[in-house]
Amino acid sequence: MTSPDFDFFRISEDHETLRQAVRAVAEDKIAPFAAAVDEEARYPQEAQDALVASDFFAPHVPAEYGGVGADALATCIVIEEVARVCASSSLIPAVNKLGSLPLILAGNEDLKRRYLSPLAAGMAGFSYGLSEREAGSDTASMKTRAVPDGDGWVLTGQKSWITNAGVSEYYTVLAVTDPDGKRGSNITAFVVEKSDSGFTFGEKERKLGIKGSPTRELHFDHVRIPGDRIVGKVGDGLKIALRTLDHTRVTIGAQAVGLAQGALDAALSYVKQRQQFGKRIADFQGIQFMLADMAMELEAARQMVYVAAAKSEREDKDLAFFGAAAKCYASDVAMKVTTDAVQLLGGAGYTRDFPLERMLRDAKITQIYEGTNQIQRIVVARQLLK
């Protein structure tokens, strides 16, 4: 009997070539500064410079706006490979996509050309202003207001937990434009520029991990926004925001996969050298079982992320399920793998002489931001129960 000619899933040569290029940049230009970036809680400028020089700063921007037009999987590979050496640095391309994707999905041509072109050129970063102190998972309860004023709007309120705030030049900000309107259909998206009068930043949050990526509040004290900075239609803001998250949750899954891979790589290097009882600890079956579980779970997470990335590129109808599932599973795996990697190094893993304790601290946030994993499970369940 002749075997059928199955079309087995595989990563294209172009994607693998991209991986090698990003890995070379990450290992040469980003990894040497990762420990200092964490220790000093400073922005990884060296990483930004390297990413801009290699066109990995905002690879998702379409070619018609000066970008390289990387597909969703290619963008995930960039984020994954950077996160493998420095999670803080991987937030540069990840948040640039998060902040600008609302424009790509719903912005008019003028808005896209005005803001995507400098982003593609590495001249300006893009952040995302959705969460507030009392509106985290419950985004529809946000209090930030935008009031009509002539041909523009006046923005008042605040946003919390904003990644790369103060570094980015541009911000997609969600605000209530109809306080008496239907909940969820009364919110509008705007582009806010760092130089806008009345727009300021809170102090940097003192965080457990990703210390190189500044997280700050955005404060809006009667900030006047021209009418031509609305993203999409008035009242469509929350729909655009949630649609954005369906796509960008996949990139957080990629970040989690990169963190887990970096931790596994470091653990493997250590156990093959560390000697106890007259032999390498890698030769003990208990250690091998831990490594096997780490590798299997990591590869399962990677495949989930890549499938979700393909669905993001095609905008498949089941993206909401796969995006949430990939982000949730991959981040849980990252937490487990980094914890086990610390364990494999024993006391050494608990010290700052090795990168594992940093990777463990960095991994935790992947279970929290862009929707906690409890919210992801709700999204998955709702898709199942439709």
**Positions marked active-site:** 370
d(C-alpha 101, C-alpha 245), whole Å = 9
Tell the burial category of 319 from Cβ atoms under 10 Å away from its Cβ (0-12, 13-18, 19+). buried
Under a CB-based contact definition with an 8 Å cutoff, are residues 267 and 356 in contact? yes
d(C-alpha 112, C-alpha 263), whole Å = 38
**Residue environment code for 112-146, b if the CB has 16+ CB neighbours within 10 A, otherwise e:** bebbbbbbbbbebbbbbbbbbeebbeebbebebbb
Strand partners, 128: 172
d(C-alpha 243, C-alpha 238), whole Å = 8
Q: Which residues contact 122 (CB under 8 A, 6 or more apart)?
A: 48, 51, 52, 57, 58
Quick one: tokens of 260?
């887990």
Q: Which residue has the tokens 């995006």?
A: 323
Q: Three-state DSSP class for 239?
A: helix
**Residue environment code for 201-223, b if the CB has 16+ CB neighbours within 10 A, otherwise e:** ebebeebebbbbbbbbbbebeeb
Amino acid at 381: A
Strand partners, 190: 173, 230
- List the beta strands (DSSP E) in 132-194: 145-149, 152-163, 170-176, 187-193
d(C-alpha 19, C-alpha 74), whole Å = 8
Under a CB-based contact definition with an 8 Å cutoff, are residues 115 and 170 in contact? yes
Under a CB-based contact definition with an 8 Å cutoff, are residues 187 and 137 in contact? no
